[in-house]
Structure 1
Amino acid sequence: MKKVVLLGALLFGAALESSFAQTATVQQLAPTRKIEVAGFAEIEVVPDEIYFNISLKEYFNDEKNQKDKVIISTLEKQLIKAVADAGLPKEALSISGVGGYQNYVDKKKKPATFLEAKQYELKVNSAEKLDGILSKVESRGVQYANVGRVDHSKREEFKKQVKIDALKAAKEKATYLVAAVDQKLGQVLEIRELDENIQYPQPMFMKTNMRAMAESADAVQDSDLSYQKIKVSYRMQAAFEIK
């Protein structure tokens, strides 16, 4: 008899446990009412960091006879002084490359002469400063000057703000969509970044007459630099509970 009672108790306990398990499973599988939306935000900012590529090259004052050479160190000193006179820190100018080329007037009469060239990167906060700097360097020694890239000193802050604005846009969208069906928005369930897009324009320095730029610092025209704004945009996705 005791065996029969014990067996019955075990069967009842197993059935009860199975019932609890089924109830828990049903509760876990119950779908959460939610809405998923994407928000977009974009900002345009004027670059405050402009990186110029400048190339200096040696040359002869007497080109025909290849005499009286102006060496690269002389030109470099002029450039360094011009950068300092413009109120820029020493770190604004850095060497990006060294090279050279063969120069000659007549192969039969004159052997080829190697003339050194040196490339620099100059960081300024406005394009107008470049003309004043180059005007203090011998124009024949300036091989070229153009814009390599642009950036903004507060780029990371802008990225953060655009992400926040995109997320707010997602919440605003979810709020009015839910309200359209007489429901209310609940807590946020999930947040995901969908994509990041940062457009850095590739501007071009349009000055072509370096000799005219170097005539006089006072006579220098405003820079013909043409560039667009930096565009920072984000798309954020968020899921919200529907109450």
Structure 2
Amino acid sequence: MKKLLSLAIVALFSVSAMAQQVDLRKKISVSGSAETEVTPDIIYISISLKEYLKDGNSKKKVDITTLENELFSAVQKAGLEKENLTINNLSSYTTITEKKKNPDYLASKQYRLKVNDLNKWNAIIGAIDAKGVAYTNIDSYDYSKISSLKQELKIKALQAAKAKATYLVEAIGDKLGSALDIQEIENQVYPQAMYRASNVMMKAESADMAGAGAAEIDFKKIKLNYVMNVVFEIK
């Protein structure tokens, strides 16, 4: 009997404790959003230069030094710092080994260029011997003020959520209380580069590339969207 009484008391206290944990506050759950679009202003482009035989003559080779000097000069004329151009990949051991085996071996070098204006890129690639360009490709891109922009959008989305909750609550004669829970949903889109030229990769092997000039490149904007889900107390 004592055991049954003890169990009943424990059960009573458990139910009481659970009742105390139940949140009986009136709440409203809303979402607010904010979005914007920005044009990338940090673009990394890979460039591959490769030696070639001039006019198909095996004795007249345009060497890699000549090609990279053209590239360095074009970068400087575009007003870019020399630090913007770095060697991305150089198989020096392979080059030396192959040249010993075959004097006609055509060496190549890969570079990485940082630009903030695609017009400068067009000027640079247009100043380089097209036959010496094996290919170019966009590695990555970003927006320089992305962090502050994200913060601004989150604040706007949160303010939009509060404004929505305020007029909904006031419509039923109540007042909005403090935020009880905040959750953010990020949705950002980094689009692919849009080339006006038909070929994305510029290939020196293509006979049409000689004297064709630089490919025009357009970027679609980066779209940033934030949704804030907020739970407010209703007073």
The Cα shift of 1:212 comes to: 2.7
Question: Which structure 1 residue ranges, 5 or more long, are not aligned?
Answer: 1-21, 102-110, 215-219
Q: Does the alignment pair 1:148 with 2:139?
A: yes
Cα distance in 2 between the residues matched to 1:227 and 1:190: 38
Q: Does the alignment pair 1:203 with 2:193?
A: yes
Aligned counterpart for 2:51 among listed residues 44, 54, 58: 58
The count of residues paired between Structure 1 and Structure 2 equals 207
Secondary structure of 1:226's partner? Answer: strand
1:77 alignment counterpart = 69
Aligned counterpart for 1:95 among listed residues 75, 87, 97: 87
Return the letter of the residue paired with 2:210: R
Tell whether the 8 Å contact from 2:180 to 2:233 is kept in structure 1 after alignment: yes
Tell whether the 8 Å contact from 2:169 to 2:234 is kept in structure 1 after alignment: yes
The Cα shift of 1:133 comes to: 1.3
Secondary structure of 1:181's partner? Answer: coil
Cα distance, 1:141–1:118 mapped onto 2, change above 3 Å: same
Aligned counterpart for 1:40 among listed residues 33, 38, 55: 33
1:124 alignment counterpart = 115
2:9 alignment counterpart = none
Return the letter of the residue paired with 1:203: A
The Cα shift of 1:83 comes to: 0.6
Question: What CA RMSD, in Å, does the superposition of the two structures yield over aligned residues?
Answer: 3.0
- TM-score (norm. length: structure 2): 0.76
Cα distance in 2 between the residues matched to 1:95 and 1:141: 16
The Cα shift of 1:27 comes to: 6.2
Cα distance in 2 between the residues matched to 1:52 and 1:232: 23
Secondary structure of 2:216's partner? Answer: coil
Cα distance, 1:58–1:34 mapped onto 2, change above 3 Å: same
Deviation string, structure 1 residues 4-43 (Cα, Å, up to 9, x no partner): xxxxxxxxxxxxxxxxxx9998666461112121211111
2:172 alignment counterpart = 181
Question: Which structure 2 residue ranges, 5 or more long, are not aligned?
Answer: 1-14, 95-101, 200-207
Tell whether the 8 Å contact from 2:32 to 2:158 is kept in structure 1 after alignment: yes
Deviation string, structure 1 residues 29-72 (Cα, Å, up to 9, x no partner): 46111212121111101111222222211111142x41121221
Tell whether the 8 Å contact from 1:149 to 1:202 is kept in structure 2 after alignment: no
**Considering only CA atoms, is the larger Rg found in Structure 1 or Structure 2?**
1
Deviation string, structure 1 residues 156-207 (Cα, Å, up to 9, x no partner): 11111111111111111111111221111112222222x2122111104444
Deviation string, structure 1 residues 74-93 (Cα, Å, up to 9, x no partner): 21121112111211011211
Return the letter of the residue paired with 1:162: L
Cα distance in 2 between the residues matched to 1:87 and 1:93: 12
Tell whether the 8 Å contact from 1:131 to 1:213 is kept in structure 2 after alignment: no
